[in-house]
Amino acid sequence: MLALRKRRRSAGRVPHGRDQAEQPSRLTERAALARPQGAVPAIVVSKILSEARHGKCRQVRVGQQGATSVEPVADRGGLQPMIDAISSAIAAGKASPAAGVAAAMAPFLGDPSLLAGRSCPSAPDTYVRHMIHDDAAGGWSLAALVWRPGHMSPMHAHRAWCAIGFYRGSLTEVGYRLPEGGGAPVPNHTALRRSGDTSHTGPDPGAIHRLVNIGSETAISLHVYGLPFDRLGTDLNTVYAD
């Protein structure tokens, strides 16, 4: 009987040395954005961009058991005042509240404890999107995007409004225009976005841009989208090139 009890106890044990992180997380989605190759903008540092591995964005859903990269949605900490300010700006009733949301985010971007207690890890081959808040009923979501040096987004335009607050480090935003005679988008401006800056756009197929980390440190940007989080991979962007 004693030997039987020992066998029953050992059956439920995890073998020594097995890291729980090795188990595949069903909460992590890799959305491959395979697109035709586009020309790299000449105004971006070519060496860094040539080394950047891009074209994928990993979306990490939180609030369910098994997530290891971010905290539960209910544990918002210092983010709650900013979430409340965003909600108020959206409730103002404008069809595209992006400018108001960007203004609502701005006072919080200098707070070094804004993401305190929340794990937002980066990845070696692509930027990572972490869900921070999802208001499916209200039709919007808030995500933290983490960019290592060399990471970039695809060249894209938004089909829903978006407001961005640049929280840590710096990113370069490259804008493009569509030639009158047709053809691939061509770069027409660039802007360095530092911590505390904001940017916004409505659902505009002509407002084409990409974000690039050409700096030497990991950057974090906070994005409010006019869509629930589970629709970002299918309904948010029109992608012109990786």
**28: in domain:** no
pLDDT score at 111: 95
Helices 80-91 and 98-105 pack at an angle, to 10 degrees, of 160
**Distance from C-alpha of 90 to C-alpha of 227, rounded to nearest angstrom:** 12
**Distance from C-alpha of 78 to C-alpha of 133, rounded to nearest angstrom:** 13
* Residue ranges with strand state E in the chain: 28-32, 56-60, 128-135, 140-147, 155-158, 162-168, 170-177, 186-194, 198-201, 208-212, 219-225, 237-241
Taking a C-beta distance cutoff of 8 angstroms, is the pair 123, 116 a contact? no
**145: in domain:** yes
**36: in domain:** no
Report pTM. Answer: 0.71
What domain range is 155 assigned to?
44-64+73-241
**200: in domain:** yes
**94: in domain:** yes
**Distance from C-alpha of 201 to C-alpha of 174, rounded to nearest angstrom:** 14
Q: Could you tell me the sign of the dihedral formed by the alpha carbons of 209, 212, 214, 215, in that order?
A: positive
**194: in domain:** yes
**Distance from C-alpha of 77 to C-alpha of 65, rounded to nearest angstrom:** 19
**224: in domain:** yes
**147: in domain:** yes
Spell out the residues 6+ positions from residue 125 whose beta carbon is closer than 8 angstroms to its own: 53, 56
Structurally, the chain folds into a number of domains equal to 1
Give the other-Cβ count within 10 Å of 69's Cβ: 21
Q: Would you give per-residue pLDDT tens digits along the chain (242 residues)?
A: 444 444 444 343 333 333 323 222 222 222 222 233 333 344 444 433 333 333 333 343 332 222 223 333 444 558 999 999 999 999 987 778 999 999 999 999 999 999 988 889 999 999 999 999 999 999 999 999 999 999 999 999 999 999 999 999 999 999 999 998 888 999 999 999 999 999 999 999 999 999 999 999 999 999 999 999 999 999 999 999 98
CATH for 91:
2.60.120.10
The torsion angles phi and psi of 185, rounded to 5 degrees, stand at: -60, 145
pLDDT score at 117: 82
pLDDT score at 77: 57
